[in-house]
């Protein structure tokens, strides 16, 4: 069975290899401009759009995911530029936010979806620390302008580490089990 990851993210590729050793990757060109009634609904809908954007044979399994950071009613996706990244990191400094990831798995004509959430607390950072992080880490392709695996900003978290990285493996494993992919 052909498995396709609808993402070029190296983090998602690394995570998926823990469950599925052999898969292809494609870039999913989908409209990600959507805000649902809740963060969970938002990431599920965008994941569905990504999964449905992949053109492939019907017997393929397509896995797509979307992640966002949610803090005080504000959705934080990927920053537009470095100033936006600084705004996001300043907002998150010393606070706890929630990371939501949605996953959509298309198997034939069936589409399975779910979402996960994790709470993340940042250290309190000075402006110079934030500037240094932006200068020394890739922030532009990450929701909330950070990566937990950098090991710099996060003082603690609850929930699944893989969810915070961008692919909730626990729920993905359950979905893949339901469709018979072990």
Catalytic residues, by residue number, are: 66
Please give the angle made by the CA atoms of 18, 22 and 26, to the nearest 5 degrees: 100
What interhelical angle do 82-92 and 127-136 show, nearest 10? 130
- Following CA atoms 126, 128, 132, 138 in sequence, which dihedral angle do they give, to the nearest 10 degrees? 60
Q: What are phi and psi of 93, to 5 degrees?
A: -55, 125
CA distance 45 to 50: 9
Instruction: Pick left, alpha or beta for residue 10 (phi over 0 → left; psi -120 to 50 → alpha; otherwise beta).
Output: alpha
């Amino acid at each position: 069975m052909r498995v396709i990851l609808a993402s070029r993210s190296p983090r998602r590729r690394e995570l998926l290899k823990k469950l599925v050793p052999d898969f292809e990757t494609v870039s999913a060109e989908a409209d990600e401009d959507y805000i649902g009634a809740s963060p969970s609904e938002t990431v599920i809908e965008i994941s569905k759009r990504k999964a449905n954007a992949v053109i492939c044979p019907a017997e393929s399994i397509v896995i797509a995911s979307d992640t966002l950071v949610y803090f005080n009613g504000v959705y934080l996706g990927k920053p537009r530029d470095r100033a936006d990244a600084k705004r996001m990191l300043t907002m998150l400094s010393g606070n706890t936010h929630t990371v939501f990831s949605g996953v959509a798995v298309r198997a034939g004509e069936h589409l399975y979806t779910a979402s996960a959430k994790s709470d993340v607390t940042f250290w309190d950072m000075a402006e110079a620390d934030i500037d240094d992080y932006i200068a020394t880490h890739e922030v532009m392709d990450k929701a909330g302008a950070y990566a937990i695996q950098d090991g710099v900003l996060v003082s603690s978290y609850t929930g699944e580490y893989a969810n915070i990285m961008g692919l909730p493996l626990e729920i993905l494993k359950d979905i893949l089990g339901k469709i018979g992919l072990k």
